[in-house]
Structure 1
Amino acid sequence: MEVCITPLPEASSSDEVAGGALEKWPERAYAIPPRIARGSIPGITAEKFKEDNEVWKDRVTRYKHIISSLALGRFRNVMDMNAYLGGFAAALAKYPMWVMNFVPANSDQDTLGVIYERGFIGTYQDWCEALSTYPRTYDLIHAGGVFSIYQDRCNITYILLEMDRILRPEGTVIFRDTVELLVKIQSITNRMRWKSQFMDHESGPFNPEKILVAVKTYWTGEPEKQQH
């Protein structure tokens, strides 16, 4: 197991916190994580971290207009399938819900440590594989850019079927991706008896990235007709 554990950086004195000091909660959610401050993640700076926080504030504001029950406590168990820096979880921190953050195993950047340093929970996941969790675990799933990552790795139908398994009936999914991919997703989810609707990007209709909001309907199989 030792090879799977990342050691903390060496501390130069007994007063120094190995790995970097962390803020108290809830300030910790928006404070610059130590590994970003140290430049440990290539391409991610403190400025980019701050910009990402602002992006997610705008996105959640947009989501609240689209899904009026988002801020009313209807959703308790939330999943972010492509969490990146944990900005979605941070933007939802003031609401009575918890977010499980997933960093795709195929992602270009390993940002799970940043999520931990922000005070959130998370793990890695290959979305071409089944997720180790109970059926109907989550009320709300956010899938931003997930299908762009996996469209050439496996059949996206299998990913959607796994999402259907872990989403409770009448739960909601927010997809963010290209129009081409979202049209494919809607075609598949229609056959899964989900109801969905396209929405414009929060920046306006000219952004090529679109939003698809889908709801898993509650349905049961029809009883067999008796033959006379």
Structure 2
Amino acid sequence: ILINRSQGSGPSICKVGRDVESPYYHPLEACIGGTHSRRWIPIEKRPKWPSRATLSSNELAVHGVLYDYLIEDGLNWKSAVRNYWSLLSPLIFSDHPKRPGVEDPVPPYNMVRNVLDMNAHFGGFNSALLEAGKSVWVMNVVPTSGPNNLPLILDRGFLGVLHDWCEAFPTYPRTYDLVHAEGFLSLETAKQRRCSIVDVFYEIDRLLRPEGWVILRDTTSLIETARTIATRLKWEARVVEIESSSDEKLLVCQKPFVKRRSYPS
């Protein structure tokens, strides 16, 4: 909200035609937006999480999403999370030096806490992680190169942000333990971009902590391209077949912990 001090008055209500749902690269205006939106629902009338994660048919209609589609999307993500954890658990939790002193902590204890979803869609990955009891914090990113589903993600009670992946993501280096992207490579390569996929991978490398993980799901050709780039970054990378799809594959990577060489004095 901007207050015009020179005129001695507070901000006014924004015009009906102003698009407050897509503020990216729009100039700031001295007005209060969103009051004309059908999403303007008093907070006390909104259900609390976890029931809030599954919006009603009327609430989804505001976003142009069918209720059955959201339910099907949630079931697919529940299956995906089970598959991801079956792949990562033996690698993360087997005699890891960072495990605490207790004999068998419930995974994930302190190895996967901060998760970045680079192409969050409807926030289904976030919802499935929480429903599965994973002790994680998820940042849902909606790329500006695709449809703007950020209002839906926020209405489900999740954190999210719009972002152009040709720019640096506003966070500290080595913030995330797990970076996830489903269909992100297809989305970014479908349009003429001012940056390359290599540039995006350099940014992922900056955001990912040492010994952190990357899970990419996309078409076979794009996954093979991503594997080549991951190898150049010195990540440990392997391609995993997806039983339910012959056109898509998973790329599971780990960023190694590189020790500095000690030279004799």
Q: Does 1:88 align with 2:125?
A: yes
* Correspondence for 1:72 among 108, 123, 128: 108
Q: Does 1:28 align with 2:52?
A: yes
Q: Does 1:209 align with 2:248?
A: yes
Aligned 8 A contact 2:38 2:62 in 1: no
Output one character per residue of 1:179-210: Cα deviation in whole Å (capped at 9) or x when no partner.
1111111111111110011112252xx52111
Task: Please give the alpha-carbon distance, in whole angstroms, between the structure 1 residues aligned to 2:218 and 2:203.
Answer: 19
Shift of 1:111: 1.0
What residue is the counterpart of 2:152 in the other structure? 114
Aligned 8 A contact 2:57 2:66 in 1: no
Larger Rg: 2
1:145 is aligned with what amino acid?
Answer: G
Shift of 1:96: 1.1
User: Unaligned stretches of 5+ in structure 2?
Assistant: 2-13, 21-32, 94-106
Shift of 1:31: 3.7
Q: Secondary structure at the match of 2:62?
A: coil
What residue is the counterpart of 1:136 in the other structure? 174
* Correspondence for 2:63 among 35, 41, 61: 41
* Correspondence for 1:56 among 69, 77, 82: 77
What residue is the counterpart of 2:202 in the other structure? 161
Please give the TM-score of this superposition, normalised by the length of structure 1: 0.85
Output one character per residue of 1:138-188: Cα deviation in whole Å (capped at 9) or x when no partner.
000101111111124231000000000010000000001111111111111
Task: Please give the alpha-carbon distance, in whole angstroms, between the structure 2 residues aligned to 1:189 and 1:165.
Answer: 13
Q: Does 1:198 align with 2:234?
A: no
Aligned 8 A contact 2:173 2:208 in 1: yes
Shift of 1:77: 0.5
Task: Please give the alpha-carbon distance, in whole angstroms, between the structure 1 residues aligned to 2:251 and 2:202.
Answer: 17
Task: Please give the alpha-carbon distance, in whole angstroms, between the structure 2 residues aligned to 1:90 and 1:175.
Answer: 18
Percent identity over the alignment? Answer: 37
Output one character per residue of 1:61-111: Cα deviation in whole Å (capped at 9) or x when no partner.
11111111484232010010000110000011122111000001111x221
Cα 1:122–1:17 change in 2 (3 A) is closer
Cα 1:202–1:18 change in 2 (3 A) is farther
The worse-fitting range, judged by mean Cα deviation, of 144-153 and 44-53 is 144-153
Aligned 8 A contact 1:147 1:181 in 2: yes
Q: Secondary structure at the match of 2:212?
A: strand
Cα 1:19–1:49 change in 2 (3 A) is farther
Q: Secondary structure at the match of 1:174?
A: strand
2:140 is aligned with what amino acid?
Answer: N
The root-mean-square deviation of aligned C-alpha atoms, in Å, is 2.6
Shift of 1:136: 0.3
Cα 1:80–1:184 change in 2 (3 A) is same
Output one character per residue of 1:30-88: Cα deviation in whole Å (capped at 9) or x when no partner.
3447541xx2334x211111110001001001111111148423201001000011000
User: Unaligned stretches of 5+ in structure 1?
Assistant: none
Aligned 8 A contact 1:35 1:114 in 2: no
* Correspondence for 1:180 among 221, 233, 251: 221
What residue is the counterpart of 2:184 in the other structure? 146
Task: Please give the alpha-carbon distance, in whole angstroms, between the structure 2 residues aligned to 1:49 and 1:83.
Answer: 13
Task: Please give the alpha-carbon distance, in whole angstroms, between the structure 2 residues aligned to 1:191 and 1:219.
Answer: 15
